[in-house]
Structure formats: C-alpha cells, structure tokens
C-alpha cells in the first residue's frame, strides 16, 4: 500500500472564531497526537483531504503528513472526522501518529472477485456478511484490499476469516470463525392455484341448472 500524502501547515490559533476563519479560507483545522509527543495543532487543504478520501475509497486512511522543511514526515492514522450535522462540511480532523516500524491494527476492506457458476445460472446468490477484516502490520506493508476469489464456489459453500491468507508481514487479528460470505440457493417462487375456483364455478353451474328446471317445467305446463 502506498501511503497517501497530505500537505500540512502549523496552526497557532484555536477556538471557534479562529477555526471558522480557517475553514472560510478553504482549509480544515486538525490535530496530531500520539505516544510520547505533544498534541500538535495544524491545518490542511479541505479540497486535498476530500480528494485523498475519494482516492482511498474505503481503504485504511493512513497518511504521510508532508510539511515544508521537514525531511522525515510523520505517518498518521485518521482517527476522527467531525462534520457539520446539516451541511456535512468537515469541521475538524483528528490524526494519530504511528511510530515508524511499529505495527498498526486497522480494518482492511474485503474485495470479492469472480462469480460462481451457480450464481451465473440463477440457481444461487452470494450473501456477504463481513466487508472488512482487522489486520495488524506496519503501515507500509498494509494491503489496499483483501481479495477473495469465489469462481470455484458451489451452493452452500462458505468463506470464513480463517480461509484468508494474510499478506507477508501482516497478521489477521479478527476471529477466525467469523463468516465472510456464503453461497445460498436461490429462492424459487411457484405460483399456486387458488383452491376452490373450480368448485365455485361448478356450484354456479349447478345453481343455474336447478334454476332452469322450474322455468322449464312452467313452460311445459303453459304449453299443456
């Protein structure tokens, strides 16, 4: 996984009014904290951050925080994004520094590849119950996705966390017995005939015949 770069700048002011001015200038207030370091106030381009999140598309949000004059930029994990409840504007970002060489545990997206033959034939469907897996590894070794190919699966086959092979340098820390997906038989709906329809028609016919009887008798009597 290539780290996504974010350009940051130091921020010396804080408070609602200062943060409002920062956002009005197209920048977002943020803080960087971590073990054995003081919390650092910073700001970054709101547009650049939005583009980065689109690029990540659900993957683990780990950034290289580039700053002018700093040769060894810190690596940070996105911990929280505060948004306006109505406009959805990003108000503040919390970043946690990851010491270099130290593993981090994050949720890695599960990506399903292929289509079983039974699904192609309409005889089954794939039910995915888990869309990410907790994985521990160094930031630079973290994969973009965990890929699972299901081309060879058949009806009632299942994939569990224990069936995933972790990339080199990584360890899966999720419960190995957790179900990721299964291939379920398709539900076939059979239209049932409504019982009694023929009987109703028969009864109507019988009533008609009985009704014709007396009328016919009356006609015979008149003829007599």
Domain assignments of the chain as residue spans, ordered by start: 4-97, 104-185
SS3 177: coil
Query: Which of 3.30.830.10, 3.40.190.10, 2.170.120.20, 2.60.40.10 is the CATH number of 104-185?
Result: 2.170.120.20
Nearest to residue 92, comparing CAs of 29, 135, 33, 154? 29
Radius of gyration from C-alpha coordinates of the chain? 34
Q: How far, in Å, CA of 90 to CA of 83, rounded?
A: 4
Give the architecture-level CATH label for domain 4-97: Beta Barrel (2.40)
Q: What is the largest CA-CA distance in the chain?
A: 125
Query: What are the pLDDT tens digits along the chain (224 aa)?
Result: 557 889 999 987 778 888 889 999 999 999 999 887 889 999 999 999 999 888 887 677 889 899 988 888 889 988 899 999 999 899 999 999 988 888 888 888 899 999 999 999 999 999 999 999 999 988 888 888 899 999 999 999 999 999 999 988 899 999 999 999 999 998 866 666 655 555 555 555 444 444 455 544 544 544 44
End-to-end, the C-alpha distance of the chain in Å comes to 106
């Amino acid at each position: 996984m290539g780290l996504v770069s974010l350009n940051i700048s130091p921020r010396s002011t804080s408070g609602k009014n200062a943060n409002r001015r920062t956002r009005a200038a197209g920048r977002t207030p943020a803080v960087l904290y971590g073990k054995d370091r003081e919390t650092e106030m910073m700001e970054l381009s709101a547009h650049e951050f939005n583009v980065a999140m689109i690029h990540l598309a659900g993957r683990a949000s780990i950034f290289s925080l580039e700053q002018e004059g700093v040769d060894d930029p810190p690596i940070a994990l996105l911990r929280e994004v505060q948004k306006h409840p109505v406009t959805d504007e990003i108000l503040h970002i919390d970043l946690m520094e990851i010491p270099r060489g130290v593993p981090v545990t994050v949720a890695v997206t599960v990506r399903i590849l292929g289509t079983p033959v039974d699904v192609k034939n309409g005889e089954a469907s794939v039910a995915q119950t888990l869309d990410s897996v907790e994985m521990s590894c160094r930031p630079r070794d973290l994969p973009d996705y965990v890929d699972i190919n299901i081309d060879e699966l058949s009806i009632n086959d299942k994939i569990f966390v224990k069936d995933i092979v972790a990339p080199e340098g990584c360890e899966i820390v999720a419960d190995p017995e957790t179900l990721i997906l299964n291939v379920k038989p398709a539900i076939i709906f059979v239209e049932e005939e409504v019982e009694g329809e023929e009987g109703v028609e028969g009864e109507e016919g019988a009533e008609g015949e009985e009704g014709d009887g007396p009328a016919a008798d009356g006609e015979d009597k008149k003829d007599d």
